[in-house]
């Protein structure tokens, strides 16, 4: 398949220059009688015989002698005519065929004056095995979008898929261009097979991955920090495309672009400075860059994952779709996968029965709607007006459980999926999925999250799954390497609508340590109370603070800090789980 868009631009530039020179030359030195048939093309060259699969789209570009653009008019025909549909470019007379059924078809190109003719044969085989195969050449953003939930969405609808992801963390198009040109074996090749099994193979080159399957789609994307800067696409994207195409024996592969998402407004990623640390500046830049990038290579479609995330941000959930300000949390990954599903299969994702563990039905509905609207209107934000207020009266009548984790979340728990300032649970739920009307929002960040460092098989009255007890948010009261100290991390609970009192119970755990990791929890509402818990190797203990009452504004502030007994060199402190109960 030829790069029609690029070749047209080059030819048009050459044509304009040549036309300028020719016009001036002939106007000065020749008469119209001097222009003869020697300036007309006398031959049209076509590709040799081809073998294509059914349901394949393929473009053949004739090459004419003596001219840049053909001077004669031409007509294409297909014999028999029922095996293909086709369209013709009126400038280059390139023919784009869509194969319909098995058989052999002869494509004929004839000039309308009868002076030039050419033909080629296309053998159409029914190689459609019913399996959609997608290879992404990307980084952690393609990982977020494809590796967690896309297979599940397809499987729920009885569709068979194979997913490949050529992964290098943070890789931009320049990196991919360099690797593609040298065929470097520097990729981690993540593959999800028909049964959903995921394997990871190190040291794989692009040529090896391209040859591994008869890919229906191969996608490209720019790294997130350059995704809204079109100038960063211009040189490397065609290089990557041409290298991939040279290794690809399947002429029916369709090439697509993955339009990524803007960072959360609270993101601390250094690349956010490219957009003045402003989410909407970044989003609009991404929209504009990908519109222009479509003209650099033959693009079948653009997957508007970034638009879907921005749509979801108009809901009551606000900006809560990333774990660290730029990578997606599990809910964000589900939205991105819904967008891929609807784009590739060409059918609405709304109503898809795939339900990730611990994800509320309302959240699933919201995600599918955000993705659907993004596919319908990929370059504009659609406000999700039906998802503004999920309810709740601000009076707790049952216990509420919070899981401090950016990965797995069990049913009935509230997932606190980000550790930066501004991250929130906009409306906490009871274990039955009903909303409370109470919000939890971080006003002073934690340093990070560790999803595997806590204890498993705990014995406390919180009855935690291992996924809860193993994960913690942590900070350090003293400097840690190049990281400045965080003396306390703060969460604000708001929306309490009564003078009732509550009990807050905390669990913290950090395994495989030999020092004291005493953590102090302070609650400030109508009054102030504190309690301490040593997180070191803890699998059995919790600490509770009773008779907690909101202040006059309906707020309770939680401060997490290092306790007086903490003798760790950096004074690390932790929170894994929290239960809030009415008294």
The CATH number of whichever domain residue 170 belongs to comes to 3.40.50.1110
Above 60 in pLDDT, residue 546? yes
Cis amide bond preceding 80, omega within 30: yes
pLDDT band at 482 (very low <50, low <70, confident <90, very high): very high
> Mean of the pLDDT values across residues 393-416?
94
pTM over 0.75, yes/no: yes
> Mean of the pLDDT values across residues 468-497?
98
**Is 138 a domain residue?**
yes
Length of the chain: 583
Give 513-540 pLDDT, tens digit per residue.
999 999 999 999 999 999 999 999 999 9
pLDDT of residue 12: 44
Give ∠ CA 44-45-50 in degrees, rounded to 5.
Answer: 135
Q: Are residues 491 and 529 in the same domain?
A: yes
Q: Are residues 460 and 568 in the same domain?
A: yes
pLDDT band at 130 (very low <50, low <70, confident <90, very high): confident
Q: Are residues 370 and 413 in the same domain?
A: no
Give long-range contacts, CB 8 A cutoff, 24+ apart: 269-273: 269/224, 269/225, 269/325, 269/326, 270/225, 271/223, 271/224, 271/225, 271/226, 272/225, 272/325, 272/326
Above 50 in pLDDT, residue 416? yes
For residue 174, the enclosing domain spans: 131-387
Q: Which H/E stretch holds residue 165? A: strand 160-167
Q: Are residues 119 and 198 in the same domain?
A: no
pLDDT of residue 476: 98
**Is 368 a domain residue?**
yes
d(CA 488, CA 476): 8
Q: Are residues 461 and 509 in the same domain?
A: yes
pLDDT of residue 69: 87
**Strand arrangement, sheet containing 518-524:** 424-425, 439-444, 488-494, 555-562, 518-524, 528-534
pLDDT band at 20 (very low <50, low <70, confident <90, very high): very low
Structure tokens at 3: 């790069």
**Is 395 a domain residue?**
no
Above 50 in pLDDT, residue 21? no
Above 60 in pLDDT, residue 381? yes
> Mean of the pLDDT values across residues 399-418?
92
> Mean of the pLDDT values across residues 353-369?
94
User: Average per-residue pLDDT in the chain?
Assistant: 92
Q: Are residues 287 and 337 in the same domain?
A: yes
Above 80 in pLDDT, residue 149? yes
Number of independent structural domains in the chain: 3
Give 501-519 pLDDT, tens digit per residue.
999 999 999 999 999 999 9
Query: Which of 67, 100, 125 is a domain's end point?
Result: 125
pLDDT of residue 38: 57
Q: Are residues 576 and 443 in the same domain?
A: yes
**Is 392 a domain residue?**
no
> Mean of the pLDDT values across residues 182-209?
98
> Mean of the pLDDT values across residues 98-124?
95
pLDDT of residue 16: 45
Q: Are residues 110 and 225 in the same domain?
A: no
Give 215-261 pLDDT, tens digit per residue.
999 999 999 999 999 999 999 999 999 999 999 999 999 999 999 99
Q: Are residues 244 and 207 in the same domain?
A: yes
Give one DSSP letter per residue of 375-444, joined into a string.
HHSTTS----GGGS-----S---S-EEEEE-SS---TTPEEE---STT-EESS-B-TTS-B-S-EEEEEE
Structure tokens at 172: 């931009």
Give 64-83 pLDDT, tens digit per residue.
998 888 999 999 999 999 99
> Mean of the pLDDT values across residues 566-579?
98
Q: Are residues 380 and 407 in the same domain?
A: no
pLDDT of residue 152: 98
Q: Are residues 92 and 154 in the same domain?
A: no
Query: Which of 94, 125, 156 is a domain's end point?
Result: 125
pLDDT of residue 228: 98
pLDDT of residue 466: 96
Read off φ and ψ for residue 161, nearest 5 degrees: -135, 150
Q: Are residues 182 and 288 in the same domain?
A: yes
Query: Which of 101, 125, 149 is a domain's end point?
Result: 125
Above 70 in pLDDT, residue 415? yes
Give 310-348 pLDDT, tens digit per residue.
999 999 999 999 999 999 999 999 999 999 999 999 999
> Mean of the pLDDT values across residues 16-22?
41
pLDDT of residue 37: 52
**Is 393 a domain residue?**
no
Least confident of 37-41, 103-107, 229-233, 236-240: 37-41
Percent of the chain exceeding pLDDT 90 equals 88
> Mean of the pLDDT values across residues 263-272?
96
pLDDT of residue 488: 98
**Is 394 a domain residue?**
no
CATH number, residue 110:
2.60.40.1080
Helices and strands in the chain, H and E counts: 12, 30
pLDDT of residue 128: 65
Pairing state of beta strands 400-404 and 414-416?
parallel
Above 70 in pLDDT, residue 7? no
Above 50 in pLDDT, residue 34? no
pLDDT of residue 314: 98
Percent of the chain exceeding pLDDT 70 equals 93
Above 60 in pLDDT, residue 22? no
């Amino acid at each position: 398949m030829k790069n029609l868009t690029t070749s047209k631009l080059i030819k048009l530039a050459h044509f304009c220059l040549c036309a300028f020179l020719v016009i001036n030359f002939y106007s000065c030195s020749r008469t119209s009688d001097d222009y003869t048939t020697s300036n007309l093309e006398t031959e049209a060259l076509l590709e040799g015989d081809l073998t294509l699969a059914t349901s394949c789209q393929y473009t053949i570009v004739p090459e004419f002698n003596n001219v840049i653009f053909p001077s004669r008019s031409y007509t294409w025909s297909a014999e028999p005519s029922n095996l293909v549909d086709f369209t013709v470019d009126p400038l280059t007379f390139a023919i784009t065929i869509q194969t319909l059924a098995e058989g052999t078809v002869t494509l004929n190109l004839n000039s309308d004056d009868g002076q030039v003719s050419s033909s080629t044969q296309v053998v159409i085989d029914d190689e459609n095995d019913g399996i959609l195969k997608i290879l992404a050449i990307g980084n952690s953003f393609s990982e977020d979008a494809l590796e967690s939930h896309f297979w599940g969405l397809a499987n729920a609808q009885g569709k068979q898929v194979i997913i490949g992801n050529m992964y290098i963390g943070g890789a931009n198009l320049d990196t991919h261009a360099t690797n593609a040109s040298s065929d470097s074996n520097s990729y981690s090749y993540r593959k999800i097979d028909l049964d959903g099994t995921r394997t990871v193979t190190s040291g794989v080159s692009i040529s090896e991955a391209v040859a591994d399957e008869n890919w229906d789609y191969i996608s490209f994307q720019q790294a997130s920090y350059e995704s809204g800067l079109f100038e960063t696409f211009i040189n490397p994207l065609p290089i990557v495309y041409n290298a991939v195409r040279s290794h690809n024996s399947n002429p029916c592969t369709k090439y697509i672009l993955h339009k990524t998402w803007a960072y959360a407004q609270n993101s601390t990623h250094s690349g956010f400075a490219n957009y003045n640390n402003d989410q909407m500046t970044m989003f609009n830049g991404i929209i504009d860059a990908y519109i222009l990038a479509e003209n650099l290579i033959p693009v079948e479609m653009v997957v508007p994952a970034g638009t879907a995330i921005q749509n979801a941000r108009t809901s009551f959930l606000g900006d809560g779709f990333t774990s660290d300000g730029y990578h997606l949390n599990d809910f964000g990954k589900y939205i991105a996968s819904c967008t891929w599903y609807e784009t590739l299969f060409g059918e609405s994702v709304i109503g898809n029965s795939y339900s990730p563990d611990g994800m509320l039905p309302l959240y699933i509905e919201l995600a599918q709607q955000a993705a659907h609207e993004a596919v319908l209107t990929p370059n504009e934000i659609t406000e999700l007006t039906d998802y503004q207020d999920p309810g709740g009266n601000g009076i707790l009548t049952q216990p509420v459980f919070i899981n401090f984790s950016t990965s797995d979340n069990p049913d009935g728990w509230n997932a606190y999926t980000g550790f930066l300032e501004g991250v929130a649970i906009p409306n906490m739920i009871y274990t039955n999925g009903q909303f409370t009307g109470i919000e939890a929002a971080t006003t002073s960040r934690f340093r990070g999250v560790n999803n595997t460092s806590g204890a498993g098989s705990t014995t406390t009255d919180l009855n935690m799954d291992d996924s809860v007890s193993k994960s913690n948010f942590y900070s350090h009261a003293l400097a840690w390497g190049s990281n400045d100290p965080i003396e306390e991390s703060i969460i604000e609970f708001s929306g309490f609508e009564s003078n009732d009192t509550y009990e807050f119970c905390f669990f913290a755990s950090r395994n495989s340590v030999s020092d004291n990791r005493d953590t102090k929890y302070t609650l400030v509402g109508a009054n102030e109370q504190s309690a301490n818990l040593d997180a070191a190797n803890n699998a059995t203990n919790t600490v509770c603070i009773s008779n907690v009452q909101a202040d006059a504004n309906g707020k309770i502030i939680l401060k997490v800090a290092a306790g007086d007994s903490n003798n760790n060199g950096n004074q690390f402190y932790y929170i894994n789980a929290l239960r809030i109960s009415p008294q």
